[in-house]
């Protein structure tokens, strides 16, 4: 059996008629940029996230950038975030002229450790930007409490967390604003680039709407230097179709995750833990082992594809060398980058494929342990 890491083609086959009709509506109406489908998607996604506003954009990176600008972040400021993330989280901070301050992760959750945030706060800190990595919400209540005690703004990087819940509430409305990505591989993926900013603050929404469209408040009247961060009409139309399936897809992802956990119980590998606080959307199912590279190779040889999210922490990436972090600065984050690997997980995979992947992994871990014990004996 082969188990691909990911496959978007199966999903298209199941949605083809709906998608083609939606794309046809955009072409017939010639609303290729923003337009009716995008406006409707904004309403529907805001309702889905249980927030009052959604501003559709051309990427998650743009959403992070506008969220930070809306919070007044600029040169001279610091933004506290995690280094165990996709680099866009930090890039968006850099676009504003501010400096990212990386706090180590809690190794159980792989998200920013709330207990380490306070010691990173200075008089330049403006925002705390937790990431809901792999679709697992960060410790939002403790983080919000720290932010409010220090007069800081909370912004969520929810780019991997569509539909995930923290203490019963969907992510996207816990801070001043949140950023979502609709990159094709995300749980809610467009057919191209896409993103959104969500907020309960009408002024933040208005600011983001203006900035995404060259700072214009009236056609050809510009109040700020803005950007071209608008969402395409096609993406709005496709996302509306796909949003109707998101909950069922996330449920399916959780089922596959549960099966992985059952079959890997007791195996010498660290699995993502569910907690009473968090309903994860299982964007990724990420396991840890010290023998990650050998294990991945053996899995690949058995037909099971895996991936690494992420192999190098942001603080050790070349563009951030000048910040002065070095190997050992953030030990848990660095260990994650050495040990994590992502098992195949997408809603259309057969449960037999997940079972094969888990049994193959359990089997080869057992062989390796037995071989090791022989050497020791």
Ligand X SMILES: *Cc1c(COP(=O)(O)O)cnc(C)c1O
The site for ligand X (CB under 6 A) is made up of 59-61, 85-86, 88-89, 131, 157, 159-160, 181, 183, 195
Cβ 87 to ligand X shortest distance, Å = 8
Q: What is the residue whose two structure tokens read 């919400």?
A: 137
Closer CB to ligand X, 195 or 236, in the complex: 195
Closer CB to ligand X, 60 or 163, in the complex: 60
Cβ 192 to ligand X shortest distance, Å = 10
Rounded alpha-carbon distances, angstroms, from residue 21 to 7, 196, 215: 23, 23, 33
Closer CB to ligand X, 129 or 256, in the complex: 129
Cβ 60 to ligand X shortest distance, Å = 3
Cβ 212 to ligand X shortest distance, Å = 14
Distance, CA of 251 to CA of 231 (rounded, Å):
28
Closer CB to ligand X, 172 or 295, in the complex: 172
What is the helix (H) or strand (E) element at residue 287, kind and residue range?
A: strand 285-288
* Eight-class DSSP state of 101: E
Rounded alpha-carbon distances, angstroms, from residue 297 to 85, 271, 293, 303, 364: 24, 19, 6, 10, 11
What is the helix (H) or strand (E) element at residue 15, kind and residue range?
A: helix 9-29
Residue (of 62, 97, 56) closest to 79 by Cα position: 97
Closer CB to ligand X, 173 or 358, in the complex: 173
Cβ 181 to ligand X shortest distance, Å = 3
Q: What is the residue whose two structure tokens read 């933040």?
A: 204
Q: Which two tokens stand for residue 283?
A: 């964007």
Q: Which two tokens stand for residue 275?
A: 């907690």
Closer CB to ligand X, 64 or 365, in the complex: 64
């Amino acid at each position: 059996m082969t188990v691909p890491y990911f496959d978007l083609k199966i999903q298209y086959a199941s949605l083809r008629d709906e998608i083609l009709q939606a794309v046809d509506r955009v072409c017939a109406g010639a609303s290729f940029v923003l337009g009716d489908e995008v406006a409707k998607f904004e309403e529907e996604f805001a309702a889905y996230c249980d927030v009052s506003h959604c501003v559709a954009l051309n990427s998650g990176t743009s959403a992070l950038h506008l969220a930070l600008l809306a919070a007044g972040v600029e040169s001279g400021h610091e933004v506290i975030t995690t280094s165990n993330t996709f680099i866009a989280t930090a890039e968006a901070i850099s676009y504003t002229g501010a400096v990212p301050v990386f706090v180590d992760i809690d190794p159980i959750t792989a998200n920013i450790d709330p207990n380490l945030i306070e010691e990173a706060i200075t008089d330049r800190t403006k925002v705390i930007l937790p990431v809901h990595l792999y679709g697992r919400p960060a410790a939002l209540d403790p983080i919000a409490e720290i932010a409010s005690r220090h007069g800081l703004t909370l912004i969520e990087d929810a780019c991997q967390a569509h539909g995930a819940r923290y203490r019963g509430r969907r992510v996207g409305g816990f801070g001043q604003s949140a950023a979502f990505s609709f990159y094709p591989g995300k749980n809610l993926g467009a057919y191209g680039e896409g993103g959104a900013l969500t907020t309960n603050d009408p002024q933040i929404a208005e600011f983001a709407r203006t900035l995404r469209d060259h700072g214009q408040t009236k056609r050809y009247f510009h109040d700020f230097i803005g950007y071209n961060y608008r969402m395409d009409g096609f993406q709005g139309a496709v996302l509306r179709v796909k949003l109707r399936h998101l909950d069922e897809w996330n449920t399916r992802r959780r089922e596959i995750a549960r099966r992985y956990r059952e079959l890997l119980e007791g195996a010498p590998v660290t699995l993502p833990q569910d907690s009473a606080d968090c309903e994860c959307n299982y964007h990724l199912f990420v396991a840890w082992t010290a023998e990650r590279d050998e294990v991945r190779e053996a899995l690949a040889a058995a037909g099971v594809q895996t991936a690494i999210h992420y192999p190098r922490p942001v603080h050790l990436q070349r563009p951030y060398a000048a910040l002065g972090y070095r190997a050992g600065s953030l030990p848990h984050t660095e260990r994650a980058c050495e040990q994590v690997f992502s098992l195949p997980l997408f809603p259309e995979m057969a449960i037999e494929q997940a079972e094969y992947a888990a049994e193959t992994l359990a089997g080869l871990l057992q062989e390796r342990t037995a071989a090791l014990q022989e050497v020791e004996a």
